[in-house]
Each structure stands twice: as structure tokens, then as C-alpha cells.
Structure 1
């Protein structure tokens, strides 16, 4: 059985532009939840994208709903695909890559394998997955769900969530928290520039960070 809910409200352009300035690893210094499992890795290195989560749950070997979704997905969306535990069949291949690149999505993540790896580089489409597989899904027409809460990489993703993804990983945020998270992370990144300048000037990292004081106090 198929279930298709309305498309979610898009995260504002201003919030996504701010979020794209943020490294996921910076957020990892002060948040511990919302990060997808590190087994989901970037197919293309050096990319950082942010977009509005559009969710799909595709069980077993049926990718019919993924094909159907191609007429609904919008520029700037970030496609999140829950494979319901299937780690064998690749639902996303060259034709899907070509279609989504033409639409102009921000990127996507599959909680499982993908295929036709060369096409991601050819179309410059950032995608995260567990790796490649030559075994593909089929148009079986049996079931699937769109724009429902899904589980991807151990994280619950709701349609309309903000997704930030780079070569270090993926984090999912409620849109209302984006400004606070991004502002804090951007501030940390700016302070890191100053930190590196002090190291280049000859200061010792543990003296700056406070590690020297902690260790010597513990030894005293």
C-alpha cells in the first residue's frame, strides 16, 4: 500500500544559506543528537549542502514510489530515503541521479547502498550512502510512504526538517533551531581562525586551550 502526504513547507532560504556556512564537525562540539550514523558516507568529497528534508520509506526491492516522487520533489529539497533495513538493493542509480540533478535538489541520503557511482560525479550531485551495490530495486508497485517520519542513519527525520551534510557527516535539525545552532557554530569557526593564528605565532596549544593548567593542577 502507498501513502503520500503533502510536500512539507520549505526551510527559508535565509536559514539554509546560514546553515551552509557551518561544518557538521563544528556542531559536533556542542550537540550530540541529530547526527546520522557515520557509516553513511559522502559519495563525493568536498561538498557541503543544506536543504529541506523530503522523506521516503522504500521497503525491500520496490522503488516505485521513488520514481513517482520525481514529479513532486523541488529545487533545494534534500531527499532522505529510509530503506527499512535493506542493505542489499540499490534504489538510487544513474537515471535517478540525472533526474534529480535536472530538478536541482540540494542532495540526498540513502540508508543503504546506491549504484552507478560515476554518475554522481558526472552530475555533481552530492549523495550520502552506505556504499555501492550492483543489485538494484525494481518497479514492483507494492508499497512505500512519502513525507512521513522515517528512520535514517539512526535518526528520526520528519518532512520539513533542515538537513546539513558534508564530508564529515549529516545532521538533522528542527527548522526553528537552525539560527541558534548556526550562529553558535559560525562563532566557533571564527574563533578557531584566531586560535590557529596564535599557534602559528608560536604559542602552545595546551596553554591556549587550558589543557596545561588542568594537567599540572592534577599532578600537583
Structure 2
């Protein structure tokens, strides 16, 4: 088995689908979907960001980031690099230098199933990044191997190269590309209906009456 396994770069999502996803809240999709959500420990380093893009998948072993550095040279505008750390929670593979390279390539965001570092540099670069917090111990170029554009696990969610990735303040959700548009349109419609309901509540109607909860409670008395 070769030390490095590298597959071709995946087909990218259309601009229309990305635009629809970026109108969608992950928490709205969470009203009906039960899979594809990364563990809630993967949180944004920058607040008030919502980005969507095409998954480029990477798996690298704990102390090593050799393949990550190579992958940065392959990223395209619109990609989101998702990094499977194979269970490592000690070494930060993503810092200021990686952030600058990812942004220069036009990547939309990074999602790391492990810690990152150099928060100030990430903030200065204004680059959206989701991870499991901050760590001071970094990876090095140990040449241990890795896999690029193969299936990975990010926070318990299986991510395939080419999947649609949506990230916001609530977390990260991964969708098969052939389901992304329908899920986004359903979510946008639900969000618009929610705004109508909120307006009714602000005007004096009761949330329980609107949602049907009050009817259920009264029927159970």
C-alpha cells in the first residue's frame, strides 16, 4: 500500500446551489434531518459566518501535516477543505500559514476534526474556520502518509469528496451533492414561514397555539 493515496479533485457544486445553501441555516435542516451533522464540538473560530462549498477531503495522522501542505496547492475557489485527524486531539495541523495558503487558493473555509492554532492570524486573515478549539502543539513535516479525496470521518459524519458542506454558527452539516439543492430550498421555505410565525407571536398570538403544542397538552389533561 502506498504511503500517500490521492484521488482526483471532485466535481464542484454549481454556483446556484452554493448560493441557496448560503441562505440556509444548519439548524433549520436539523429540524428534520438526522444524519450528516458533525459533532457539536466542532465550532467556528470566527463568529457570524455562513459558508457553503464543495468538500475536499483529507486524512492525516496526528503529528504530521505533510499531505496538508501538498493539498493546499490543489485547492480551487469554492472548495472547503475538511480534515480528518484520525482521532488526534493534541496537535494543531492548521495555523496562520495554512490559513493564508487556503485563502490565497480561494477556498471558502476549513473544517478540522481537531484543534487549530494561531487564532489572531486566522482572525486577521478573516478566514472562516471550524475546529475543536485551540492548541499550542503543532504538526510537522514527518512524511508519515495520508489520504486525499477519499472518504473521511469528521465529527462522526462521513464526508465524501464532492459533498456539499454548509457551516455556520450552529455547526457543520454535510449533504450529498444530489440532495443539497432540495434540502436548501426546503430549509429556505421553512425559514420564511418561521418569520411569518414570529410576526404573529410579536402581534400577540401564542406560540403553543400556532405550533399545535397547546392542543396536544390540553388533549392530555
Q: Give me the TM-score of the superposition, normalised by structure 2.
A: 0.98
SS in 2 for 1:100: helix
SS in 2 for 1:192: helix
The answer to whether the 8 A contact 2:26-2:170 is kept is yes
Cα distance, 1:180 vs. partner? 1.2
Q: Structure 2 residue aligned with 1:61, among 57, 60, 63?
A: 63
Cα distance, 1:26 vs. partner? 0.4
Q: Give me the TM-score of the superposition, normalised by structure 1.
A: 0.98
Q: Structure 2 residue aligned with 1:107, among 106, 109, 112?
A: 109
Partner of 1:89: 91
- Matched positions, count: 219
Aligned pairs for 1:174-189 (under 5 A) are: 174-189=176-191
Q: For 1:70 and 1:175, how far apart are their aligned partners in 2?
A: 22
Q: Does 1:152 align with 2:180?
A: no
Q: Structure 1 residue aligned with 2:43, among 41, 44, 49?
A: 41
SS in 2 for 1:89: coil
Partner of 2:195: 193
SS in 2 for 1:182: helix
Cα distance, 1:142 vs. partner? 2.0
Q: Structure 1 residue aligned with 2:28, among 26, 29, 37?
A: 26
SS in 1 for 2:205: coil
List per-residue Cα deviations over 1:55-98 (Å, max 9, x = no partner). Answer: 10001211000011121011110000000011000000110011
Cα distance, 1:203 vs. partner? 0.7
Cα distance, 1:19 vs. partner? 0.7
Structure 2 unmatched runs, 5+: none
Structure 1 residue runs of 4 or more that deviate by more than 4 Å after TM superposition: none
Q: For 1:179 and 1:71, how far apart are their aligned partners in 2?
A: 29
Q: Structure 2 residue aligned with 1:173, among 147, 169, 175?
A: 175
Q: For 2:114 and 2:155, how far apart are their aligned partners in 1?
A: 9
Partner of 1:2: 4
SS in 1 for 2:81: strand
Aligned pairs for 1:74-85 (under 5 A) are: 74-85=76-87
Aligned pairs for 1:95-134 (under 5 A) are: 95-134=97-136
Structure 1 unmatched runs, 5+: none
